[in-house]
Amino acid sequence: MSLLSETFLLLRKDLLLELRRRDSLLTMFFFGTLLLFVFHFSFDLPPDKVAEMTPALLWLAFLFTGTLGLAQLFNAERENHCLDALLLSPLDRGALFLAKTSFNLILMVLVEIVVIPLFWILFNLNSWNLLPQLFLVTFLGTVGFCVLGTIMAAITLKARARELLLPLILFPLMIPIILATIRCMENVLRTGELGDALPWLRLLLGFDVIFLTLGVLIFDWVIES
């Protein structure tokens, strides 16, 4: 069985379990929405500050929401020692990494599809025509978050205070992604195009490709040690 078919098998299983339990998606969705309302009532942004401030607020919501999802990423494997059952099998550990990353990415994208338009409405952003570019930037940032987050979630899997440890080691490593995504979004909101933010977009792409490759290569060591 190839890496991709193993990935698909595991992803299918994770989606089926999520469809039955719905705990990760619902928690992430409600938490993300709640944060937007908190930001909405806390900040009264002047129009000239909107482009500067909103990307950071939006990414703050994604970071917290995504971390909530990452903390539950291996819940199904913790039950009944199912992770041991997977590690006992001839499964390529890279497939486990790709499946968990894809699963988390699907959850995050579903949450973003609801949260971003809601954010636009709450903060009276009229630039609806910019949404496709912003979705592209957000997607690349989310891929980076999920790739790195899956590696860190696996590293902290057996730690006692994993829910506390995960953001502590993940957030500093996320700085390049957050910075690049926020700069790209800010540029799009200010000028209506990516233009000057292209180097940041390249950084984002490079980060995604490097960590995705690294994850596939080192995940056996990460998950088995």
Applying CB under 8 A, the residues found at the interface with other proteins are 1, 6, 9, 13, 16-17, 20-21, 76, 79-82, 84-92, 220-221, 224
Shortest spacing between CB 88 and other proteins, in angstroms: 6
- Residue number with CB closer to other proteins (17 or 53): 17
Residue 16 or 168 with smaller CB distance to other proteins: 16
Spell out a b/e string for 79-93, using b for 16 or more CB atoms within 10 Å of the CB, else e: eeeebeeeeeeebbb
* Closer Cβ to other proteins, 16 or 210, answer by number: 16
Cβ burial of 172 (10 Å; 0-12, 13-18, 19+) is exposed
In angstroms, what is the minimal distance from the CB of 17 to other proteins? 5
| CA pair distance 110, 3, nearest whole angstrom | 25
Closer residue to other proteins, CB minimum distance, 9 or 130 = 9
Q: In the complex, what is the shortest distance from the CB of residue 92 to other proteins, in angstroms, rounded to a whole number?
A: 7
Task: State whether residue 125 is helix, strand or coil.
Answer: coil
Nearest to 13 by CA among 66, 82, 60: 82
> Whole-number minimum distance, CB 100 to other proteins, in Å?
15
